Amino acid sequence: MTNYFDLSGKIALVTGGSRGLGRAIALAFADCGADVIVASRKLDNCEAVAEEIRAKGRRALALSCHMGRWEQIETLVTSAYAAFGRIDILVNNAGMTPVTSSSLDTDEKLVDAVFALNFKGPFRLSALVGSRMAAGEGGSIINISSIASCRPDPSYAPYASAKAALNTLTTAHAFEFAPKVRVNAILPGSFRTDIARHWSPNKEANTPAALKRFGEPEEIVSTALYLASDYSSFTTGAHIRVDGGRP
């Protein structure tokens, strides 16, 4: 039987890879044969996931990086290429979702922080890695956006706006780095990650999703594996919803 998700010999970099959807994606990539660079702000958490990856027989590297700070992104890329020589798969997953009472009460510092992490960081990291992919053997860039980008709510307007910008960037980079590099976005709905523990207890019961529940982190991995694998070779510039059927 053909293994459509075979990532043997591939090198993947997953930001925000120490928990939640990023951790699930990083571990799934390792299960399918990839060596993985796990990046997030807290090095200890990255190293814990890296150990899980090594236990699967794959190589792993843990790197600390604040994805909202370009100077740290430069260091991340330098360290990743020094260790592995190339990156075949980039997953821009790091992000933050602050809730605000109103736009009027939202201060500039918060808006800047939200856009730095959810948009400016992926912009810079994709520019650095995507240009190298395009000059080399190609690759796949996967941006983890959000259903909020097309179903915005006033309580998280800066986040929804930043993710909408990330969707636009996905399309722009799909053309800029083509034909060797494919750039796609996944738009998750609500998932049972560690962040969900801070949500209202009745939020899931009142979800408008057709499936009437939240997703498990593992339920996003097949979409990420598809976009990372060579079997999605004719898919670029796509925005794929994985949201349980949000109206």
Q: Is residue 2 one of the residues assigned to a domain? A: no
CA distance 125 to 54: 25
The answer on pLDDT for 171 being more than 90 is: yes
The answer on pLDDT for 197 being more than 80 is: no
41-55, 100-114, 153-167, 195-209: the lowest-pLDDT one:
195-209
Alpha carbon distances (Å) from 113 to 65, 195, 202: 15, 18, 29
Range of the domain at 47: 11-242
Q: How many CA atoms lie within 13 A of 187 on its CB side?
A: 24
| pLDDT, averaged across the chain | 96
Q: Kindly give the pairing relationship between strand 139-144 and strand 11-15.
A: unpaired
CA distance 108 to 194: 27
Report pLDDT for 1.
72
The overall pTM is greater than 0.85: yes
Q: Is residue 69 one of the residues assigned to a domain? A: yes
Report pLDDT for 234.
98
Q: Is residue 3 one of the residues assigned to a domain? A: no
Q: Is residue 231 one of the residues assigned to a domain? A: yes
CA distance 31 to 57: 9
The residues facing 92 across adjacent strands are: 143
Is residue 32 helix, strand or coil?
coil
CA distance 46 to 30: 14
CATH number of the CATH domain containing 85: 3.40.50.720
DSSP letter for 116, please.
Answer: I
Which residue intervals of the chain are DSSP H helices? 20-31, 43-55, 70-84, 108-115, 121-135, 157-176, 221-228
Domain count, the chain: 1
CA distance 162 to 152: 11
Report pLDDT for 193.
86
CA distance 247 to 145: 17
Residue 198 pLDDT grade (very low, low, confident, very high; cuts 50, 70, 90)? confident
Q: Is residue 4 one of the residues assigned to a domain? A: no
> In terms of pLDDT, which residue wins out, 156 or 200?
156
4 as an active site residue: the answer is no
The answer on pLDDT for 196 being more than 90 is: no
Taking the CB of residue 47, how many other CB atoms lie within 10 A of it? Answer: 17
Report pLDDT for 80.
98
Report pLDDT for 3.
87
Sign, CA torsion 82/223/155/120: positive
Report pLDDT for 200.
81
Report pLDDT for 2.
81
Q: Which two tokens stand for residue 177?
A: 């780095």
Q: Is residue 192 one of the residues assigned to a domain? A: yes
H-helix or E-strand containing 201? none
Residue in 4, 81, 156, 159 annotated catalytic: 159
Place of tokens 């060579």: 230
Alpha carbon distances (Å) from 159 to 46, 111, 116, 156, 175: 24, 8, 11, 5, 25
Is residue 131 helix, strand or coil?
helix
Residue type, 86: R
Quick: pLDDT tens for 66-115. Answer: 999 999 999 999 999 999 999 999 999 999 999 999 999 999 999 999 99
Q: Is residue 62 one of the residues assigned to a domain? A: yes
Percent of the chain clearing pLDDT 70 (strictly above): 100
Quick: pLDDT tens for 25-54. Answer: 999 999 999 999 999 999 999 999 999 999
Q: Is residue 29 one of the residues assigned to a domain? A: yes
Report pLDDT for 31.
98
